[in-house]
Amino acid sequence: MLPEYRGHKVGEALMRNAERRLAVLGATRLRLAIVRQTSRLQAFYERLGYQAGESRTFAGVFFPILLMEKPAPEDGRAAC
């Protein structure tokens, strides 16, 4: 996110919309992966209800990945 748009809840609105749409498509759990060392990004997703899971490394990727997940919103169908 560009610095001038931080704090305006644009990222949160985009994520909430995507989460609702995934729920409409039948998703029951939402999972994402971030670079483990990005504590600011991890905190953002934690504020949205994601929980940190395991940390992994992948062949060809030169930094550890943190997996995060949460249940899909139950009201996804009504919200879209």
The whole-number pLDDT of residue 7 equals 86
Domain count, the chain: 1
Burial label, 49 (beta-carbon count in 10 A; 0-12, 13-18, 19+): middle
Which of 5-20 are b and which e, b meaning 16 or more Cβ less than 10 Å from the residue's Cβ?
eeeeeebeeebeeebb
Q: What is the pLDDT along the chain (80 residues), one digit of tens a residue?
A: 788 888 899 999 999 999 999 999 999 999 999 999 889 999 999 999 999 999 999 899 889 999 999 999 987 654 44
Query: CA torsion, points 10, 16, 17, 23, in degrees to nearest 10?
Result: 170
Entry pTM: 0.83
The whole-number pLDDT of residue 80 equals 46
CATH classification at residue 43: 3.40.630.30
For the chain, give me the number of helices (H) and strands (E)?
3, 3
How many C-alpha atoms does 9 have within 13 Å on its Cβ side?
5
